[in-house]
């Protein structure tokens, strides 16, 4: 067994010892919420903690073991294998015979285990020999066997908010966890929080590096200028909540909208180089595919979703190429904001308009009474009509004029969509 370091890392020293000390994840740990109920029930269950790095997966697993007075075994799927699983089973069997206490087996990065390795847990989870807790940064639907997944509750953990991270900095200072540092300027804290990007471990490791530098230079008050001098390229070149960040994402968005692939790639790469979270970039590209391309090229949205999934599977840097491919495709695709405008107009109309009743002929009639009240009467089933179109039929509330929300542009697939709508409109006029 490896010796425990007499100087554990800051992240380990500040690891919460009870639920009250946990910062973040209140959507799961708040009063009356899923994980809190699990802790208070006294009945542990197998689960998978899914979330990005540094959000408390290991901490929650350890607190579970402490809460249930259970033995705790940790396996790293990165370094371990079937031998480690076998040893865990043997140890759990011994403990069960010795004191009857439960055993919890925590598997970090469980998605790194292959199918046969994951299958090795199944009989022991089913027999109750131990409670299985898996931690993963990847989507369990893709990376965890269905058999194991069906026996575990999935809890989704979120990145820590800026306020959460600032609470951690405050705790470090209050507890004098870094003796050399007494104060950190507000601007410097903002930079540290931005760099951490929701990851408590990254924040604490950065603070620890700062503490070493402060001790060496006999600095007790950390200013923003000194922070940037010491950490340099480790910090982002712009604050994720600051003006430069939004200026840059705006430039990327407008370059794609303006169909300039070179400029789009330039701003995209600038953001990655500056430390922007690729998952955030993927979300923006998905939004952009709907907002600025829409039905002019419906493939754009599918490609954006595929690029986001590729990044989830490969991570950085490999997955960034798929995002870059998406950037170029969106830039050269035909553009239309017709659906975006139509949706906004529909929302504005609904907000100011009254609640109009659904016409009787459009209502469903599952009961005899509803049929007697003429629900669904005279409804024309489009598939039974010529060309699959019930010409002259009205699908809007009675007395409501056609609002004309959707107006296709003369680009891409929307050219054909406009032709189709014009043909249907002509048929309606002929019928009426």
- Whole-angstrom distance, CA of residue 351 vs CA of residue 382: 30
- Whole-angstrom distance, CA of residue 336 vs CA of residue 162: 36
Report yes or no: 187 and 224 within 8 Å, Cβ to Cβ: yes
For residue 244, what pLDDT is reported? 64
For residue 238, what pLDDT is reported? 44
For residue 389, what pLDDT is reported? 87
Class of domain 243-332: mainly alpha
- Whole-angstrom distance, CA of residue 143 vs CA of residue 167: 33
Is the fold of 25-156 the same as that of 243-332? no
Q: Which CATH architecture has domain 25-156?
A: 3-Layer(aba) Sandwich (3.40)
CA distances from 172 to 8, 10, 15, 95 (A): 15, 9, 11, 37
Q: Is 175 left (phi over 0), alpha (psi -120 to 50) or beta?
A: alpha
- Domain boundaries defined on the chain: 25-156, 162-234, 243-332, 353-431
Please report the DSSP string for 87-134 in residue order. Answer: HHHHHHHHHHHHT---EEEEEETGGGS-HHHHHTTHHHHHHTS-EEEE
Please report the DSSP string for 47-69 in residue order. Answer: EEEE--TTSSHHHHHHHHHHHTT
To the question of pTM greater than 0.75 for the whole model, the response is: no
- Which residue's entry shows tokens 């054909």? 416
Please state the separation of Cα 171 from the chain's center in Å. 27
Please report the DSSP string for 291-328 in residue order. Answer: IIIGGG-THHHHHHHHHHHHHHHH-TTTTHHHHHHHHH
- Which residue's entry shows tokens 């923003």? 224
Structure tokens at 59: 């901490």
Residue-wise pLDDT for 313-357, tens only, equals 998 889 999 999 999 999 999 999 999 999 999 999 988 887 888
Q: Which residues of the chain have pLDDT under 70?
A: 1-6, 233-245, 432
For residue 114, what pLDDT is reported? 87
Class of domain 162-234: mainly alpha
For residue 235, what pLDDT is reported? 61
Please state the separation of Cα 101 from the chain's center in Å. 36
């Amino acid at each position: 067994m490896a010796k425990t370091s007499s100087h554990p890392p800051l992240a380990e020293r500040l690891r919460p010892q009870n639920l009250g000390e946990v910062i973040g994840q209140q959507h799961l740990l708040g009063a009356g919420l899923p994980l809190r109920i699990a802790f208070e029930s006294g009945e542990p269950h197998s689960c998978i903690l899914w979330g990005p790095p540094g959000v408390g997966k290991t901490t929650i697993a350890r607190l579970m073991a402490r809460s249930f007075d259970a033995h705790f075994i940790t396996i790293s799927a990165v370094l371990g294998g079937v031998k480690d699983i076998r040893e865990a089973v043997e140890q759990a069997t011994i403990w069960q015979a010795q004191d009857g206490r439960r055993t919890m087996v925590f598997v970090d990065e469980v998605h790194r285990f292959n199918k046969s390795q994951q299958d090795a847990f199944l009989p022991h989870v089913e027999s109750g020999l131990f409670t299985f807790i898996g931690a993963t940064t990847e989507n369990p639907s893709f990376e965890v066997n269905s058999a194991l997944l069906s026996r575990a509750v999935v809890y989704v953990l979120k990145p820590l908010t800026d306020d959460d991270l600032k609470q951690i900095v405050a705790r470090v200072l209050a507890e004098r966890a870094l003796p050399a540092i007494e104060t950190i300027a507000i601007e410097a804290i903002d930079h540290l929080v931005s760099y951490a990007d929701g990851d408590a471990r990254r924040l604490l490791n950065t603070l620890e590096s700062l503490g070493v530098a402060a001790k060496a230079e006999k600095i007790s008050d950390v200013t923003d200028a000194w922070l940037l001098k010491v950490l340099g390229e480790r910090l982002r070149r712009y604050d994720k909540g600051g003006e430069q960040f939004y200026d840059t994402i705006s430039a990327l968005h407008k370059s794609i909208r303006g169909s300039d692939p070179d400029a789009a790639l330039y701003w995209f790469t600038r953001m990655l180089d500056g430390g922007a979270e690729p998952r955030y970039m993927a979300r923006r590209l998905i939004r952009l595919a709907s907002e600025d391309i829409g039905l002019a090229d419906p493939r754009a949205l599918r490609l954006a979703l595929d690029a986001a999934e590729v990044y989830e599977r490969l991570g950085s840097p490999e997955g960034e190429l798929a995002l870059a491919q998406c950037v170029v495709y969106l830039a050269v695709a035909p553009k239309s904001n017709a659906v975006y405008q139509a949706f906004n107009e529909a929302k504005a109309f609904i907000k100011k308009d009254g609640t109009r009743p659904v016409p009787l002929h459009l209502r469903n009639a599952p009961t005899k009474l509803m049929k007697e009240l003429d629900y669904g009467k005279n409804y024309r089933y489009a598939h039974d009509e010529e060309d699959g179109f019930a010409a002259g039929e009205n699908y809007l509330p009675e007395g409501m004029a056609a609002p004309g929300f959707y107006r296709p542009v003369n680009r891409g697939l929307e050219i054909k969509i406009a032709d189709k709508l014009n043909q249907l409109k002509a048929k309606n006029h002929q019928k009426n």
